[in-house]
């Protein structure tokens, strides 16, 4: 088991990611939850309490250590806290894809609206957001059911729809984004939301949503994690001071 000091650091990271997601409008109120795998039996996840003030105000205390079966991962971990009903989202993603350590289940309105409007999320921009463009080029799958994913069977259904992609749209519901870190999972969700927002805006202006030209891909390089993840995350954390 990870040391107490390391767990405390990880709780802080997950709490920060919750606030970033809320600051970006990817969740509202108490809806949505993020998690981080600790080992093959435990994860840290944003839980709820009777004094919950919403995802935007998540503190490290709200991030609790639990087992994959939903029970407390240590003494007192669920004292005064409840595991999200949709815990199977996190557990089944982690079981199916061991490389996914961070999972974010969010409710971005732009993505939900675009999907319900029949818009397929495609790489409609390039250097505007290179990681987002590459993510969209690989395809954004859709889980067709607009249900609360609160059982193992529904979690497995969503994971099957997700396939080997890092994000999946849950029709009439939200999205699930998974990555090697919880920060990357949130950044992927931000990119997906921007693709959806831009698609809706183009159509509202009377334009046509179309993919960028094929020959552009050679000049859309991977700029490395220092730029695409580290710097991007520093910005997301810094902008929180002007959001709340």
The length of the chain, given as a count of residues: 244
Distance separating alpha carbons of residues 102 and 139, to the nearest angstrom: 20
Q: Which of 41, 77, 86, 236 is catalytic?
A: 86
- Structural tokens at position 18: 């919750």
Q: Which helix (H) or strand (E) holds 201?
A: helix 182-204
Nearest residue to 188 via CA among 214, 166, 208: 166
Q: What is the DSSP letter of 49?
A: -
Phi, psi dihedrals of residue 242, rounded to the nearest 5° = -105, 5
Q: What is the DSSP letter of 128?
A: T
Nearest residue to 94 via CA among 12, 147, 158, 36: 36
Instruction: Give the Å distances, CA to CA, from 233 to 131, 149, 222.
Output: 13, 29, 17
Report yes or no: 170 and 143 within 8 Å, Cβ to Cβ: yes
86 part of the active site: yes
What strand order describes the sheet that includes 102-106? 63-67, 42-46, 33-37, 102-106, 174-179, 167-170, 142-143
Query: Which residues are known catalytic residues?
Result: 86
């Amino acid at each position: 088991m990870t040391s107490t000091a390391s767990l405390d650091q990880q709780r802080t990271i997950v709490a920060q990611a919750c606030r970033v997601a809320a600051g970006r409008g990817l969740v509202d109120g108490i809806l949505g939850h993020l998690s981080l795998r600790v080992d093959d039996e435990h994860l840290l996840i944003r839980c709820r309490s009777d004094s919950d003030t919403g995802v935007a105000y998540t503190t490290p205390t709200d991030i609790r250590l639990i087992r994959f079966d939903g029970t407390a991962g240590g003494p007192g971990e669920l004292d005064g806290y409840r595991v999200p009903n949709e815990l199977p989202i996190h557990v089944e993603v982690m079981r199916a894809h061991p490389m996914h350590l961070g999972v974010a289940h969010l409710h971005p309105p732009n993505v939900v609206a675009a999907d319900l409007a029949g818009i397929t999320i495609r790489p409609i921009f390039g250097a505007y957001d290179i990681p987002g463009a590459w993510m969209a080029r690989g395809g954004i799958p859709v889980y067709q059911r607009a249900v609360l994913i609160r059982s193992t069977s529904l979690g497995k259904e969503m994971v099957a729809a997700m396939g080997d992609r890092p994000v999946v749209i849950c029709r009439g519901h939200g999205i699930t984004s998974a990555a090697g870190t919880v920060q990357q999972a949130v950044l992927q969700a931000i990119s997906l939301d921007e693709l959806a927002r831009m698609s809706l805006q183009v159509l509202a202006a009377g334009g046509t949503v179309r993919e960028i030209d094929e020959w552009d891909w050679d000049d859309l390089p991977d700029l490395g994690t220092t730029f695409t993840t580290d710097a991007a995350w520093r910005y997301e954390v810094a902008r929180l001071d002007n959001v709340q």
